[in-house]
Amino acid sequence: MTVIGAAPLPRHDGAPSLELVGFSKRFGALAALDDVSVKVNAGAFHALLGENGAGKSTLVKCAMGYYAADEGQILLNGREVAITHPRQAHELGLGMVYQHFTLVPNMTVLENFVLSRDHLPAVIDWAGERRRLRDYFATTPFAVPLDTPVADLAAGQKQKAEILRQLYLKRNLLILDEPTSVLTPDEADEVLSTLKALTQARQLTIVTITHKFREVNAFCDTVTVLRRGQLVDTRPTRDLDNDTMAEMMVGRRENRVVVERETRAPGAAVLSIEGLSVADHVGQLAVEELSLEIRAGEIVGVAGVSGNGQRELVETLAGQRHAEAGRMLVHGEPYAATRAEMVRHKIACLPEEPLRNACVADMSVAENMALRAFDQPPASPDGVRLKRAPMRDTALRLIEAYRVKTPGPNAPIRALSGGNVQRAVLARELSSDGDLLIVANPCFGLDFAAAAEIRTRIVQARNRGAAILLVSEDLDEILQLSDRIVVMFDGKLALQADANRADVGAIGRAMAGH
Ligand SMILES: Nc1ncnc2c1ncn2[C@@H]1O[C@H](COP(=O)(O)OP(=O)(O)OP(=O)(O)O)[C@@H](O)[C@H]1O
């Protein structure tokens, strides 16, 4: 029997340098990486930028041993190392933090930390582990409650716990994949400034994948830009301004799409929500007696920190969850969010995490793009037989129009990068000329050019008279697009305002529950 009571706590050996030399990786015909070399200095806070599908995730997954590169050499502190499995990367001190949380929600922080070690003893001395972790947290820049189930932590605390776990596991080179996408700007700044201090103290080296220029300017000292699988350049941040970074990412093409909202009075109510109450996955009320009306030709933005009932609201409108009380009406008729009703009323929906909630991951891009209309012409002239050729033609048209980067219409949709899955689903949903559009975080994980494009399409849909419910954690997006703004806090509407007269301070306070 092994008891690890006396095991020493992890210790940091200082920030290493990392050099990736000549990395190439193909997926079938697609060169996801083509001879990419990047040098990350010891103690750097190094940003990796690029449009969706540029190869950022592929590069770091090769470095971490999740993917086998076709070619490429890794130097750690100037010495060549072999990393063919994540466990080898971990043993060398490399760790990864993702945009989506990886801690097990129904286990406590303590259980998550201890059980995530690569090597575990047969019997665990939990009391000793708790004591040592508590002492360890006394030395770390932030702490999280040890005995709380991760599911009960706020998003900012969860991300802190993810980072602390990496430090606890003795990782001294962290790769962050869009680490702040689920955090409020204040939470993001808190986490990033702490990490910055650790890099400056030479305890950590950080590579961060991000789409946020603000964070690059505030925290990163070096920037590497990838474009279509190739290295554009690595430069000090102080030598770059936003326009230069943008141009390095997308090349010299016109990339700013101007959003023009036509002045128009909203029409009749398309969606009416009356006294809606919805329970969450553990049966607690996540939406409480919520009433809201959305009229033709208006965008109603639902602002709020995630976890205040937005997800449950969207799931109910999309037919993925039942309401406990209240009712929904579309064009004045009771609406139960069945697929038939969605087709009849021309309702389009982009839920959160589209790969999970709006796609069949193993089906092809073309099949996924046809999911709404596979039993209607032209995909099925008689509603029974499926015709492949029209489905493929539609997919090719949408792939081109929405610039979805995919090896082809027949590739399984799960093989696409996150941003490209988002584009594929948006292409399907926005191309249907719907009367009602329900979108949740439509630009989550998209680069700025793609985000501008999608926002323009949402405004175009509004201009032609669609009613749009826009749920977003990005307050700038809400302010830019909405005609009316509501704030959701704790399942209720905490504030309703006309966008022209919106007081951003009041919105911020309502989001924080004040
Ligand atoms: N497992 C895979 N199988 C096939 N193609 C893949 C796979 N993983 C990535 N690709 C393709 O490789 C290219 C690069 O993808 P990658 O995920 O590295 O991009 P990214 O820069 O991280 O994009 P995003 O910002 O959207 O996350 C994309 O065109 C993607 O479709």
**Confidence at residue 12, expressed as pLDDT on a 0 to 100 scale:** 45
| 321: its two tokens | 């969850």
Average pLDDT on 181-197 reads 82
Q: How far apart are CA 436 and CA 434, in angstroms?
A: 5
Residue 6's pLDDT band, with cuts at 50, 70 and 90, is very low
- Asked if 374 contacts 368 with a C-beta cutoff of 8 angstroms, the reply is no
Dihedral through CA 434, CA 339, CA 306, CA 499, nearest 10?
30
Cα(451) to centroid of ligand 1, in Å? 18
Instruction: Name the average pLDDT for the chain.
Output: 87
**Confidence at residue 355, expressed as pLDDT on a 0 to 100 scale:** 85
Confidence check: pLDDT of 504 > 80: no
Q: How far apart are CA 303 and CA 23, in angstroms?
A: 41
Cα(68) to centroid of ligand 1, in Å? 14
Confidence check: pLDDT of 240 > 60: yes
User: Helix/strand/coil (H, E, C) string of 473-487?
Assistant: CCHHHHHHHCCEEEE
Q: Is the CB of 104 under 6 A from ligand 1?
A: no
Residue closest via CA to ligand 1's atom 17 equals: 417
For 412-471, what is each residue's pLDDT tens digit? 999 998 889 988 998 998 877 889 999 998 887 777 777 888 898 899 999 999 999 999
Confidence check: pLDDT of 513 > 80: no
Cα(406) to centroid of ligand 1, in Å? 9
Query: What pTM value is reported for the model?
Result: 0.66
Cis before 378? omega within 30: yes
For 387-421, what is each residue's pLDDT tens digit? 677 789 999 999 998 889 999 999 999 999 888 99
For 351-381, what is each residue's pLDDT tens digit? 877 888 888 999 999 999 988 765 665 655 6
Residue 11's pLDDT band, with cuts at 50, 70 and 90, is very low
| 59: its two tokens | 């590069």
Confidence check: pLDDT of 8 > 70: no
The HSE-up count of residue 497 (CA atoms within 13 Å, CB side) is: 18
Residue closest via CA to ligand 1's atom 24 equals: 52
Cα(366) to centroid of ligand 1, in Å? 18
- Asked if 480 contacts 451 with a C-beta cutoff of 8 angstroms, the reply is no
For 109-136, what is each residue's pLDDT tens digit? 999 998 888 777 788 889 988 998 898 8
Closest C-alpha to 440, from 420, 412, 468: 468
- For tokens 């070619």, the residue is 71
Q: Where are the domains of the chain?
A: 18-250, 270-511
Residue with the larger pLDDT of the pair 484 and 189? 484
Residue 296's pLDDT band, with cuts at 50, 70 and 90, is very high
For 19-35, what is each residue's pLDDT tens digit? 999 999 998 878 899 99
**What count of other Cβ atoms lies within 10 Å of the Cβ of residue 150?**
21
Residue with the larger pLDDT of the pair 352 and 97? 97
Q: Was domain 270-511 assigned CATH 3.30.300.30?
A: no
**Confidence at residue 247, expressed as pLDDT on a 0 to 100 scale:** 80
In order, the DSSP letters of 184-219 are -HHHHHHHHHHHHHHHHTTS-EEEEE---HHHHHHH
**Confidence at residue 254, expressed as pLDDT on a 0 to 100 scale:** 46
Domain 18-250, second-level architecture: 3-Layer(aba) Sandwich (3.40)
**Confidence at residue 42, expressed as pLDDT on a 0 to 100 scale:** 96
Cα(56) to centroid of ligand 1, in Å? 8
Q: How far apart are CA 335 and CA 25, in angstroms?
A: 48
β-strand pairing of 18-27 with 71-76:
antiparallel
The HSE-up count of residue 202 (CA atoms within 13 Å, CB side) is: 4
Q: Is the CB of 53 under 6 A from ligand 1?
A: yes
Q: What is the ipTM of this complex?
A: 0.97
Residue closest via CA to ligand 1's atom 4 equals: 415
Q: For a substitution probing ligand 1, which of 23, 26, 27 has the most ligand atoms within 8 Å of its CB?
A: 27
**Confidence at residue 207, expressed as pLDDT on a 0 to 100 scale:** 98
Residue with the larger pLDDT of the pair 180 and 393? 393
Cα(31) to centroid of ligand 1, in Å? 10
Closest C-alpha to 21, from 65, 64, 59, 68: 59
The three-class DSSP label of residue 388 is helix
Q: How far apart are CA 379 and CA 391, in angstroms?
A: 5
**Confidence at residue 5, expressed as pLDDT on a 0 to 100 scale:** 30
Q: Is the CB of 491 under 6 A from ligand 1?
A: no
Q: Is the CB of 405 under 6 A from ligand 1?
A: yes
Evaluate whether 18-250 and 270-511 have a shared fold: yes
Residue with the larger pLDDT of the pair 247 and 71? 71
Average pLDDT on 270-287 reads 93
Any bridge partners for residue 222, and if so which?
Answer: 46, 236
Average pLDDT on 464-490 reads 91
Contacts of 339 (CB under 8 A, 6+ apart): 319
Confidence check: pLDDT of 252 > 50: yes
Cα(75) to centroid of ligand 1, in Å? 24
